[in-house]
Amino acid sequence: MAAKRSAWLLFPLLSISFVSLVVVVVVVRFSGQWAARPMQFPGAAGLDDPSPPAPRIAYFISGSDGDGHRILRLLRAVYHPRNQYLLHLDLRASHRQREDLVSAVRSVDSFVASGNVNVVGKADYANREGSTAIASVLHGAAVLLKHSKAWDWFVNLAASDYPLITQDDLLHVLSFLPRDINFIQCSDKIGWKESRRIRSIVVDPGIYLAAKRDIFIGTQKRPIPTSYRFATGSPFVILSRKFVQFAILGWDNLPRTLLMYFSNMRSPQRGYFHTLAINSKEFCDTVVASDLRFGSGAAAEEELPSPADLGAMLGSGAAFAGGFRPRDSLLDRIDAAALRRRWGRVTPGGWCVGDGGWWSDPCSAWGDADVLRPGPGARRFEKFLVRLMGNTSVWTSPCGPL
């Protein structure tokens, strides 16, 4: 086996019934070359064998002025009692909007019973062009770490995002993956970003002023550091708990060193976690170069991709999509076609045991949160992961010496 890491990734070729015959592909690294070989997952030979324990996800959902209703709708769409949720309306939103969001959360019995939805009371600024954006994400991750020790992955979403599969679909498929994977759409091919973003000196007034101000961009350029390699990509990440702990607690000095440089960089949320991961010997081999979103890629880095038609989104098999307008009619179609979610209700799952009649809410009564009922979305997501993992470019790791 290779010195860095071997046989660390398992993912299933699974059917969508509760119990299924699972074939696992193990990706093995030999002398820098990736090779795949089929292998039977332990205990999966029988049709009655259970799936592995489902993971838990910590969601940080953020928005700005007027986004309360969008955050609440997104929360209902991605809700599952196994997960943790932290909602953040930045300081451009009024305190009344945060109070209304809290009241709306408290009005949903399943949220109150599970006790897994919280709202940031002391809000942050989050200018996506400045360092307040990454500071807000790190703050949210730190709060989620403190609040619960049970989750496996951290996911940051914006109010303009929406899921394309149910949480039962997502948790079921992710249950077959190692919990140390980090999904970060990134590349160390910097190009034009070196001059425009990395070498620029930017000051975000939101760090030290209690009022919204535009960022200041200096006229001078700074040299590129030579002690670490830069990476850039999507601002939306899916991080393992251990990597989040590393970023927050920093048991070596790399997270703090990078944060000092990124605090004066333009759009640091498009590079901080990416650069941290590829420069860490412990985590560089855990990165899959994807954020599991529809339309994500280098061409979509500067702007959120405009949602395409419903068929293209669902056909992609991706777990999330972004760039939706407020009250976009496409969200209603996703609810009906992919989530089976009705207006004002949470996405139903195996934990919902209420009457499923047309006028009743199946999630008005709940049972065992460990019960998952994956549907067609799990098959789409499984195929998406198979295509993703089979693409050797996602394993072209920029880890290593400069």
Lowest mean pLDDT among 109-113, 211-215, 365-369: 211-215
Residue-level pLDDT at 41:
28
Residue-level pLDDT at 86:
98
172 half-sphere exposure, CB direction, 13 A CA radius: 29
- What percent of the chain shows pLDDT beyond 90? 54
- Short-list 17, 18, 35, CA closest to 26: 35
Q: Report the chain's mean pLDDT, rounded to a whole number.
A: 80
**Mean pLDDT, rounded, for 284-309:** 72
The CATH architecture annotation of domain 57-187+234-342+352-392 reads: Alpha-Beta Complex (3.90)
What span, in angstroms and rounded, lies between the C-alpha atoms of 4 and 22? 27
What span, in angstroms and rounded, lies between the C-alpha atoms of 243 and 112? 30
For 31-139, where are the E strands, in sequence order?
33-40, 57-63, 84-89, 117-119
Residue type, 216: F
Give the pLDDT confidence of 332-351 residue by residue, as tens digits: 999 999 999 999 999 999 99
| Most confident residue range from 1-15, 217-231, 328-342 | 328-342
What residue ranges do the domains of the chain occupy? Answer: 9-50, 57-187+234-342+352-392, 193-225
Residue 332 neighbours by CB under 8 Å, 6+ apart: 343
**Mean pLDDT, rounded, for 27-53:** 37
- pLDDT band (50, 70, 90) for residue 224: confident
Burial letters 255-283, b for 16+ CB under 10 A, else e: bebbbebbbbbbbbbbbbbbbbbbbbeeb
What span, in angstroms and rounded, lies between the C-alpha atoms of 156 and 188? 22
**Mean pLDDT, rounded, for 46-57:** 69
Give the pLDDT confidence of 54-76 residue by residue, as tens digits: 999 999 999 999 999 999 999 99
What span, in angstroms and rounded, lies between the C-alpha atoms of 27 and 391? 11
Residue-level pLDDT at 25:
30
Lowest mean pLDDT among 13-17, 182-186, 279-283: 13-17
- What percent of the chain shows pLDDT beyond 70? 74
Q: Is 355 helix (H, G, I), strand (E, B) or coil?
A: coil
What span, in angstroms and rounded, lies between the C-alpha atoms of 107 and 111? 8
Residue-level pLDDT at 250:
84
**Mean pLDDT, rounded, for 12-22:** 32
Residue type, 86: L
Q: What's the token pair of residue 267?
A: 């759009």
| Most confident residue range from 8-12, 205-209, 248-252 | 248-252
What span, in angstroms and rounded, lies between the C-alpha atoms of 69 and 82? 23
- Short-list 233, 242, 275, CA closest to 258: 275
Residue 32 neighbours by CB under 8 Å, 6+ apart: 2
**Mean pLDDT, rounded, for 123-145:** 89
What is the DSSP secondary structure assignment for residue 301, as one 8-state letter? S
Contact between 305 and 295 (Cβ < 8 Å): yes
Residue 277 neighbours by CB under 8 Å, 6+ apart: 182, 184, 186, 231, 243, 283, 284, 286, 287
Residue-level pLDDT at 132:
84
* Of 335 and 211, the one with more pLDDT: 335
Q: What's the token pair of residue 32?
A: 């820098």
Whether the pLDDT of residue 124 is over 90: the answer is no
